[in-house]
Amino acid sequence: MQVYLEKTDDELATLLIAHDAKALSVLYFRHVKSLYFFVLGMAKSPALTEDIVQETFTRFWQNRHLLEPSQNIKAYLFTIARHHLLNLLKRAQHENFILQELKHYSKPIEQTTEQWMDYRESNYLLQEALKKLPTQQREVFKLCKLEGLSYKQVAQRFGITEGTVNSHMVKALKYIKQFIVLHQLVWLLLLTGCYPFK
C-alpha cells in the first residue's frame, strides 16, 4: 500500500481505469475530507453530506472507464457531488405536497421554528415516508419499530424468514432517513428564501 500512497493522482487514475480497487482507496482517503466540506458548504446538512460523499465515490468507481489519466481528480469529484446534490434538490422541490405544507407553516415560523421542527416534522415526514414504502416493507417496519415486535414474531406473522424481515428493515430505514433529510433541506431553502431552480 505504501507504493500506492507515493503515487500521483494521475498515476492512480491510470490504475483505477484498470479496475484497481487499491487506487480507489488511496484517492478516497486523499480527497474525502475536502469533498466533505465542499458538499457541506452547499447542503448544510451533515447527514445529507455523508450520503452525497458516499454516492460520489460510488459513481466515481462505477464510471472509472470515463476517466482520463491527466484529469483533475479533485475537480472531477467535486463536479460529481455537485450534480448529485442539485438532482436531489430538484427531486425534493418537485414533490408538491411537502412544498405546500411548508408554505402553510412559514408565516408563524419566527416564534416556533424549533417546536414546529420537533413535533410537526417528526410526525408528518415519518408518515409521508411510510406511505411511499412497499406494502409489506411498511407493515414490517410498523410492527418492529412502532409496535415493538421482534424480528422472529414478525417473520412468523408474515410467513417469511428473519433474514427477510431484516432486509425489509434495512431498506425501510435507509429510505426514511433519505426522505426526511431531503425534505428538511427543502424546508430550509424555503425559510431562507433560496430557490436555486426558479
* Burial category of 90 from C-beta neighbours within 10 Å (exposed 0-12, middle 13-18, buried 19 and up): exposed
Check pLDDT > 60 for residue 79.
Answer: yes
C-alpha–C-alpha distance, residues 125 and 122, integer Å? 6
- CA-to-CA separations, 80 to 1, 22, 108, 112, 155, in angstroms, rounded: 26, 21, 38, 37, 40
Residue 186, pLDDT score: 55
C-alpha cell recorded at residue 152 = 422472529
C-alpha cell recorded at residue 127 = 408518515
Span 22-35, mean pLDDT? 92
For residue 120, the one-letter residue type is R
C-alpha–C-alpha distance, residues 190 and 93, integer Å? 10
C-alpha–C-alpha distance, residues 106 and 114, integer Å? 13
Residue 185, pLDDT score: 61
The helix/strand count (H/E) of the chain reads as: 11, 0
All structural domains of the chain: 2-89 (1.10.1740.10), 96-192 (1.10.10.10)
Q: What is the pLDDT of residues 135-157, one digit of tens each?
A: 999 999 888 887 788 888 999 99
More confident residue, 62 or 123: 62
Check pLDDT > 70 for residue 104.
Answer: no
Residue 122, pLDDT score: 61
Find out whether 140 and 154 touch, Cβ atoms under 8 Å: yes
C-alpha–C-alpha distance, residues 150 and 117, integer Å? 30
